[in-house]
């Protein structure tokens, strides 16, 4: 079965960086894009961007341009999210989610999600 296991909670100081991992299993990793979505306390989810493990093509949300980097390690079937210049407002649960594809067409909806990684930014 499709499963994503994310790395553990992180405590970071403002101005530093964080990297979150997302280990995939149960399907061919390179066949589906991985999206990253974050959710601040009491807020709706917010899309950060996606990466295609097949060719490392990325698309980042304008809000995070310059601060976000998404990568994959296909041999380890793992996706990574790096966020730099952290601010208190980056405190959130970060999720990886697989993009849904059907009949060769993908539509930026998500079919499977990781369990989430809490990143707390505080001085």
Partner 1 sequence: QSALTQEASVSGTVGQKVTLSCAGNPNNIGSYDVGWYQQISHGAPKTVMLGNSLPSGIPGRFSGSKSGTTASLTISGLQPEDEAEYYCSTWDYSLRAVVFGGGTKLTVL
Smallest separation (angstroms) from partner 1 to the CB of 16: 25
Token reading at 49: 């961007």
- Cβ 61 to partner 1 shortest distance, Å: 5
Cα-based distances in Å from 22 to 8, 15, 104: 10, 23, 24
Residues within window 9-48 making contact with partner 1, judged by CB under 8 A = 35, 37, 44-47
Q: Which two tokens stand for residue 62?
A: 């304008």
Pick the binder of partner 1 from 108, 120, 121, 122 (CB under 8 A).
Answer: 108
Alpha carbon distance 114, 100 (integer Å):
14
Tokens 């553990």: give the residue. 8
Asked if 95 is part of the footprint of partner 1 (rule: CB under 8 A), the reply reads yes
* Shortest CB 68 distance to partner 1, Å: 13
Q: Binding to partner 1 by residue 123, rule CB under 8 A?
A: no
* Minimum gap (Å) between residue 67 Cβ and partner 1: 16
- 55 forms beta bridges with none
Contact 52, 61 (CB under 8 A): no
Tell me the per-residue interface mask from 44 to 73 with partner 1, x by CB under 8 A, - otherwise: xxxx-----------x-xx-----------
User: Of 24-32, 66-74, 79-87, 110-118, which part binds partner 1 (CB under 8 A)?
Assistant: 110-118
CB count, 10 Å around CB of 28?
A: 10
């Amino acid at each position: 079965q499709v499963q994503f296991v994310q790395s553990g909670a992180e405590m970071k100081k403002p101005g530093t960086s964080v990297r979150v991992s997302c280990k995939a299993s149960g399907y061919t990793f390179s066949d589906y894009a991985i999206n990253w979505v974050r959710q601040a306390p009491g807020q709706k989810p917010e899309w950060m961007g996606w990466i295609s493990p097949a060719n490392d093509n990325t698309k980042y949300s304008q809000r995070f341009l310059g601060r976000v980097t998404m990568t994959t390690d296909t041999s380890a079937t793992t996706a990574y999210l790096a966020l730099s210049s952290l601010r208190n407002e980056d405190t959130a649960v970060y999720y990886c989610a697989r993009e849904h594809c059907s009949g060769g067409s993908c539509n930026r909806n998500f079919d499977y999600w990781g369990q989430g990684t809490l990143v707390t930014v505080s001085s």
